[in-house]
Amino acid sequence: MGGIMERFEYSTPTMGTILKFVVIAPTQTIAERWIDVGLSEIERLIPIFNNYSPASEISKLNARCGTRTEISADLYRAIEHSRRWHELSSGVFDITCGALFELWKQARGNRRLPAKVERKEALERSGWNYVECTATQDPEAPDARFFLTVHRRALVLDLSGIATGYIIDSLADRMILAGCKAFLIDIGGDIRLGESPLGKEGWRVQVAGLEKSDPAIMELSLANCSLTTSGDRNQSLVLDGVTYSHLIDPRTGEPLTNHQSCTAIASTTIDADAAATALSVLGRAASSQRFETLPIDQAVLLYSELESGPAQRSTIRFSRLLAEK
């Protein structure tokens, strides 16, 4: 596409956060057309994945435990990606733990730790062995149908750790098909990048520090990839000097208590989204062992540890592109 290329930006509230587009286009009319393609796709997908709406497909599904239910192709694919990441992460990425996530969300709101019996009961209402997801034929076939049955009363599927990634990838793919090449899509810090803008080496993106008041710890130049950060910077509960993260370890049913975050970079936002959560829960040692087996390019782990004095902040960076630091 010839002519002078310009930068166009657009932002709007969505899913309790902000959706931001930056596109490089020859005219405002073309930029608006590409952005409209993305907006149409997100409006199509929100009614599927919105956990906060009782009318969404995932909410209706969670209300029908024990019933074989036909589901959309998008929900089927998101669930299967979640199953893949459950296996890749040795079980620490687990969308079947919705009851556990909700219990600790209420605890953060009430500023009260849930009782042990409540934690045990919520953990028992989790497990992939209760989830049966099937397709009538090849899932990519145009006339394939998809069904899901949850064989456990009150088990709750929570796709919040991967739904935003799925949505971003879907709308990016639609925009690319429409002719958009250089773009940035950001939904609440989950970012997908297209080709480099205006002859630059890449899009400049920052990796945030552990605290809201901390400056960015590094700036990266990236293109044709995705970046997501997961940690307790914005969601946590502090009681008696202990910080309880919103990230839960499905193996124990307990939240993380070590102040940390993980930024993951991958070719798709789905993989960056899931990896950031999984590596945060796995922790430093296990992340170091697991990194090479995961479909991601880089990961930056930040953590704070108490010795005899003030908390010390440390950074570990894993990369297929750079020497490990």
pLDDT at residue 234, rounded to an integer: 67
pLDDT for the residue numbered 321: 59
298, β-bridge pairs: 265, 319
Between 76 and 261, name the one with better pLDDT: 76
94 and 216 both lie in a single domain: no
Question: Do 179 and 40 reside in the same domain of the chain?
Answer: yes
Q: Same structural domain for residues 237 and 306? A: yes
Same domain, 305 and 209: yes
Q: Work out the average pLDDT over 124-132.
A: 96
Please tell me whether residues 91 and 224 are part of one structural domain.
no
Residue in this structure with the two tokens 């909410």, named with its chain if needed: 59
Say whether both 167 and 140 belong to one domain. Answer: no
Average pLDDT (123-128) is 96
Q: Which residue has the tokens 């773009």?
A: 183
d(CA 35, CA 289): 40
**The domain spanning residue 37 has which CATH number?**
3.10.520.10
Handedness of CA 78, 80, 83, 84 (dihedral sign): negative
Which of 130, 150, 170 represents a domain boundary (last residue)? 150
- Same domain (yes/no): 225, 306: yes
Name the amino acid, one letter, at 37: V
Domain identity same for 189 and 100: no
Q: Flag whether 220 is in a domain.
A: yes
Alpha-carbon torsion (76, 77, 79, 83), positive or negative: positive
Pairing, β 17-25 against β 69-71: unpaired
Q: Could you say which of 150, 182, 213 is where a domain stops?
A: 150
Q: Are residues 211 and 325 in the same domain?
A: yes
Q: What does the alpha-carbon distance between residue 61 and residue 71 come to, in Å, rounded to a whole number?
A: 8
Q: Which domain does 97 fall in, by range? A: 57-150
Same domain for 237 and 172: no
Indicate whether 322 and 211 sit together in one domain: yes
pLDDT in tens, 219-267: 999 999 999 998 776 678 888 878 888 899 999 999 998 778 899 999 9
What does each C-alpha distance from 167 to 187, 225, 304 come to in angstroms? 9, 15, 32
For residue 113, name the pLDDT band (cuts at 50, 70, 90).
very high
Residue after which a domain boundary falls, among 86, 119, 150: 150
Residues 142 and 109 in one domain: yes
pLDDT digits (tens, 9 = 90+) for 286-316: 988 899 999 999 999 988 765 434 445 678 8
